Structure 1
Amino acid sequence: MSIEVNNDPCAATPSDYKMTWTSAAQAMWAAVKLAGKAELELYEVMGLTGHAFRININPENVDIAGPTAYPWETFFAKGLKNIGFNTAYVRTADFTPPTPDQLTRALKLVQKSIDRGVPAISWDLFVPEFGVLYGYNDEKQELQGKDPNEDGTLLYEKLGRGQIHELFVMILEEEIQTTALSLIRGALEIAIDHAHRREHSNETPPFQNGLAGYDGWIEAFEAGKVSEIGNAYNLAVVADARAHAAKFLQEMADRWESDGNWGEAVVLITRGAAGHYARTTDALNTLLAVFPFPQGGEPNDAETAKKAIAVLQTAKAAEASGVEALERLLAELPE
Structure 2
Amino acid sequence: MAEASVKSFLQRLSSLKLQENEASPGLQDQIQKLKNRVEEIGNFPGEVDTSSKQYEGLVCNWESNLIETVHDANNCIDQYVTKTTSRDGSDQALSILQFRSELEKIDARLAGISRPMSQSNMPSWPTSEAKEEIGESSSTNRVDVIGYGENEMLPTLDPFSPPPFMRHLSLCGHLVDIPDWVCSMEGLTKLTLAYSFLPEEAIYVLQFLPNLKHLNLGGACNSKQINKEFCKVGGFPKLETLRICSRDLVEWTEIEKGAFPSLAFLFFQNCLRLMNLPEGLQYVTTLKELMIVALHPDLERRLKPDGGKENYKIKHIPLIRSSRAKLQKLLL
Q: Which has the higher helix share?
A: 1
Instruction: Bin the TM-score by the shorter chain.
Output: under 0.3
Greater relative contact order, per chain length (Cα 8 Å cut-off, separation 6+): 1
* Alignment TM-score, normalising by the size of structure 1: 0.24
